[in-house]
Amino acid sequence: MTKTAWVFPGQGSQTLNMGVDLQDLPGAKQKFEAAAKILGWSILDICQQDEATLSRTLYTQPCLYVIESILADILSEKIGLPQLLAGHSLGEYVALYTAGVFDFESGLKIVKKRAELMDSAAGGKMMALMKFGRSELEQALKASENVVLANDNSEGQVVISGTPEAVDKVSSQVKAKRALELDVSGAFHSPLMQNASQQFESVLDTVTFSNAKIPVLSNVEPVATTDKTKLKQRLVQQMTGSVRWREIMLQLAQSNIERVFEVGPGKVLTGLIKRTCKNIELNNVGTAEQLQQVTAA
């Protein structure tokens, strides 16, 4: 049997009109309707509005959670569950839902509050650096306050996060082929999110967590586990901690994963995995057509 992992993308992978082609698939209508009751707005309406609205954290995160959950449910029904799960930032919530850690509605309520807290964060900045000197970056971060490595996506791509002054200072000290300021409201995945993290923990305490049916690799601690207590604590840490995606990809190889499905819009994660793990077969499942292709094979 081919050893398989599913990975779920996070904020930044959203695309206009995503999910529209899923609405007539089994179970999709019920989830879109359930989501509307919890959120007070329509996922499909937001996905068809405009890029600026869809890209606002308040809307992006619930939209991705619902659409990726629909895809995961249909995929698991057609081909069965994989041997390992992981998600990038917001995507970790879909991984936990897929693993049976919490139900769809509970997960969406958590994501809704997370999106509200992160959307209201202010005073921070995030900067993506591509093709940079890692040792140079590590030294600059070590010598600077109020800025951290927020997303360690791959050897050649990271995101730093902190106060605008600190982020600008570090990015000016590191030679990178490209530096891109992210269109976000706050310094996500940094200590500046501490207040939001404390409020978020009280929300998590209202939700019942179960042990995962499948091991999950978490962003802040890329060691697979099914333990509900560890998985819950890692979600608390995730808001202020670094997304260690580079290490997650290395774990895929070390776990002898032969095939990876990126379940969600875009090809961000498979693109990163392709450059890091040369021998893993990659599949994208973000549309009804792609879903049909992989389930018919």
Query: Dihedral sign, CA of 105, 60, 220, 206?
Result: negative
Give the three-state DSSP class for 267: coil
- Judge whether 89 counts as a catalytic residue: yes
Nearest Cα to Cα of residue 88 among 43, 153, 148: 153
In terms of Cβ atoms closer than 10 Å to its own Cβ (0-12, 13-18, 19+), residue 286 is: buried
User: Could you say which of 13, 69, 89, 144 is catalytic?
Assistant: 89
Query: Dihedral sign, CA of 114, 119, 124, 127?
Result: positive
Alpha-carbon distance 226 to 145, whole Å? 35
User: Could you say which of 13, 69, 171, 189 is catalytic?
Assistant: 189
Q: Return all residues near 186 (Cβ < 8 A) that are at least 6 apart.
A: 118, 121, 122, 123, 124, 192, 193
- Judge whether 76 counts as a catalytic residue: no
So which residues are the catalytic ones?
89, 189
